Structure 1
Amino acid sequence: MTGPALPSLDAASRRTTPHQVFEGLDLAVRRRLPGRLQGDRRGLRLGPGTEPEEVVRYRPGEDDVRRIDWNVTARAGEPHVWRPLAEHELESWVLLDDSASMAFGTVDLEKRDLAAGAAAAVGLITQGPGNRVGVGTLTGDGLRWSAPLPSRAAAQRALRDRPVGGAASGPTDLAGALTALGARYRRPGLRVVVTDAVEPDGRTERPFSWERPLRRLAVAHETIVVEVVDPRELALPDIGVVTFEDPETGRRREVSTSDHRLRTSYAETAAAHRAAVAEAVRWARAGHVVLRTDRDWVRDLARHVLGRRTDRHASSYGAPRPQGVTA
């Protein structure tokens, strides 16, 4: 089961319109997150709001008498009031990796289709009064920004404007894109990075160039890395002689997949790479969810969202500043 269909918009699938895809995704998200799409967010600082944060001594003329905590007042013998956290609209930004390696898929959809669906799901999950979502798309031609829209409209745009052709063949700079995102939009909010974490030079070991920019981003915002994976990137089937092409460089190589040692080495290298990516994301203090093209990715994303919301610290849309982090 792979969740809502997000077929490539080629000649064989033009009968499926972006609107139909959006309605299917909307229904899938609502089924997996019933009653949890709104109102589950805490502010960062004291101010107008409804969520109690701390109890202090009452100051005549400054504090609202309607917020007197009578239980604490009775125990302390003097008036105390509770102060709430300020409630603000949520501003979310999705950094969408559309490098050449994302134009790959061996199941029902390509990784770039899943990435567009994940960006749309972010809009649906974060919808609420005043909430907005913007998108930065990273290709070989550089970084393109789309102005933030109300969450639901942003979700529709993510599906409507998803790429239908090949990405630019040039290398992409994920580290530079993360730095640009942190410098361009400083207001605390949610930042989601959707990528396959494939390095242009084929590097599979730490440190990755994007680790430190990601950590700086996670200092100021709640940050989630959505890693997109296809099953053929994890293990090779025994299908004889195959010609492989590196999507980032265009280099080709003919290999025999019947070689057991080759398949074993490939699987071990792929597993080590994914483990290194997970370790790097943990080091950066960011959330991490892996979405696969051969699984119900909406369910996996929903599980991650629900899991983070059970954590009191993760419920804030701005992550607390980790100790010992050098920006």
Structure 2
Amino acid sequence: MTDRTTTGANPGRAEAVLSRLQLLVTRKLDGLLQGDYLGLLPGAGTEAGESREYRPGDDVRRMDWPVTARTTVPHVRRTVADRELETWLAVDLSASLDFGTGRWLKRDLVIAASAAIAHLTARGGNRIGAVIGSGGHRPGAGTPDVLRLPARPGRKEAQGLLRTIAGMEIQPGRTDLGGLIDALNRPPRRRGMAVVISDFLAPPEQWGWPVRKLGVRHDVLAIEVVDPRELELPDVGVLPVVDPETGELHEVQTADPRLRQRYAAAAAAQRAAIAHALRAAGAAHLRLRTDSDWLLDMVRFVAAQRHARTRGTTR
């Protein structure tokens, strides 16, 4: 992937980025699917398996009450992973994603994460679909249309989905993230995997409950895309800052250490609130930064998830 690439503005560049992503993902992520599970997250499946003793962190919805009553020791019912997985992406392409001061734009990481998930799920008859929001939502203007790409099997269909995501033109304003996530709840689908990719800058009150509802039926993965300048300000004197969602220009005096401290504290509190809301909703949480190796972060995340499942704990 080329640095700081705005892929949506150039279809040819988008195709080149996707081709390179495919090579990177194939080389580094192949092999993670060796074993019993076919998805990025090792889904629990629906076919009943053997029982084992309850361990702290196990899903109480899988309690095996007959065995528990017979042995007087809490047991949970293991399940066999489904052999066919349906994955849905909720892709937030708000105007705030067209920003980046690291190796990539946040938008590029959204496309990269989508490509990795598509690669890890679009095999063996697995299906992948998406709902995409590209900004355009302003208070009082109503909820904009959400582009829905039906879940289909096959690598060719997955590549077509990725091309659509990469070619989307971002509109001014912010996507209604809660409404976008709710689009995955309608109509109800069989149990599968749901992945929400966003910077989650909208207040958690707007999207926390939709994520919680999504987690009742599906395994949910939230991928948070972050730029280092959203966490702290550099000391560079007067810094002109443009709000990508409103176009407003602000000048910030970054030489003031107290201002930088207040900014860092507010940013830390914001990210902590995001993490808390996702944890409360039961979603797995992966944070990708524009200044780090996103593939390495994803590999470590998948390895940690599988290790936790092996030990019988939840994420």
TM norm structure 2 = 0.77
Check the 8 A contact 1:197/1:277 in 2, yes or no.
yes
**CA contact 1:126–1:151 (8 Å) conserved in 2:** no
List aligned pairs for 1:237-252, cutoff 5 A: 237-252=234-249
State the alpha-carbon separation in 2 of the partners of residues 217 and 17 from structure 1.
Answer: 31
1:32 alignment counterpart: 28
Matched, 1:177 2:180: yes
Mapping of 1:139-150 within 5 angstroms?
A: 139=134, 140=136, 141-150=144-153
Q: Contact 2:101/2:227 (CA < 8 Å) preserved in 1?
A: yes
Are the counterparts in 2 of residues 116 and 158 from structure 1 also a CA contact under 8 Å? no
Q: For 1:87, what is the secondary structure of its paired residue? A: coil
Residue from 233, 239, 245 that aligns with 2:230: 233
C-alpha displacement of 1:86:
7.1
* Residues 117 and 33 (structure 1), Cα distance of their counterparts in 2 relative to 1, 3 Å cut: closer
1:286 is aligned to: 283
Which amino acid counterpart does residue 171 of structure 1 have in structure 2?
R
Instruction: Describe the SS at the equivalent of 2:234.
Output: coil
Q: How does 1:1-327 map to 2 (within 5 A)?
A: 4-5=1-2, 7-9=5-7, 18=15, 20-37=16-33, 39-41=35-37, 44-46=45-47, 52-53=49-50, 85=80, 87-139=82-134, 140=136, 141-150=144-153, 152-163=155-166, 167-199=170-202, 203=203, 207-312=204-309
Q: Does the CA-based 8 Å contact 2:96-2:174 persist in structure 1?
A: no
2:115 and 2:293 map into 1 onto residues whose CA distance is: 15
Instruction: Looking at secondary structure, tell me which structure has more helix per residue.
Output: 2
Whether contact under 8 Å (1:8, 1:109) holds in the other structure is: no
- How far did 1:128 drift? 2.4
Structure 1 unaligned regions, length at least 5: 56-82, 321-327
The C-alpha deviation readout for 1:19-43, integer Å capped at 9, x for no partner, is: x434432343344334222553265
Q: 1:124 to 1:231 in 2, by over 3 A?
A: same
Measured in 2, the distance between the counterparts of 1:165 and 1:44 equals 33
Q: CA RMSD in A?
A: 3.0
2: CA distance, partners of 1:170 / 1:314: 44
Shift in CA distance, 26/301, structure 1 to aligned 2, threshold 3 Å: same
CA contact (8 A) 1:117 1:159 kept: no
Alignment length (residue pairs): 276
The CA deviation at 1:232 is 1.1
Counterpart residue type for residue 8 of structure 1: T
1:315 CA displacement: 9.5
Distance (Å, rounded) in 1 between the aligned partners of 2:21 and 2:30: 14
Distance 1:304 1:171 in 2: 28
Partners of 1:172 and 1:314 lie apart in 2 by 38
What is the identity, as a one-letter code, of the residue corresponding to 1:45?
T
- Given the superposition, is the C-alpha separation of residues 187 and 113 from structure 1 closer, same or farther in structure 2, using an over 3 Å criterion? same
| Shift >4 Å, 4+ stretches | 13-17, 163-166, 313-316
Q: Secondary structure, in 3 states, of the residue corresponding to 1:208?
A: helix
1:95-124: CA deviations, max 9, x gaps? 000011111111232111110110111011
Deviation, structure 1 residue 214: 0.4
Structure ID, larger Rg: 1
TM-aligned CA distance change 1:190 to 1:95, over 3 Å: same
- Distance in 1 (alpha carbons) for counterparts of 2:290 and 2:116: 15
What is residue 139 of structure 2 aligned with on the other side?
none
Query: How many Å separate the matches in 2 of 1:224 and 1:5?
Result: 26
Matched with 2:66 is none
Partners of 1:119 and 1:158 within 8 A in 2: no
Instruction: Work out the CA distance in 1 between the residues paired with 2:11 and 2:179.
Output: 35
Cα distance in 2 for partners of 1:215, 1:90 equals: 21
TM-score (ref. length: structure 1) = 0.74
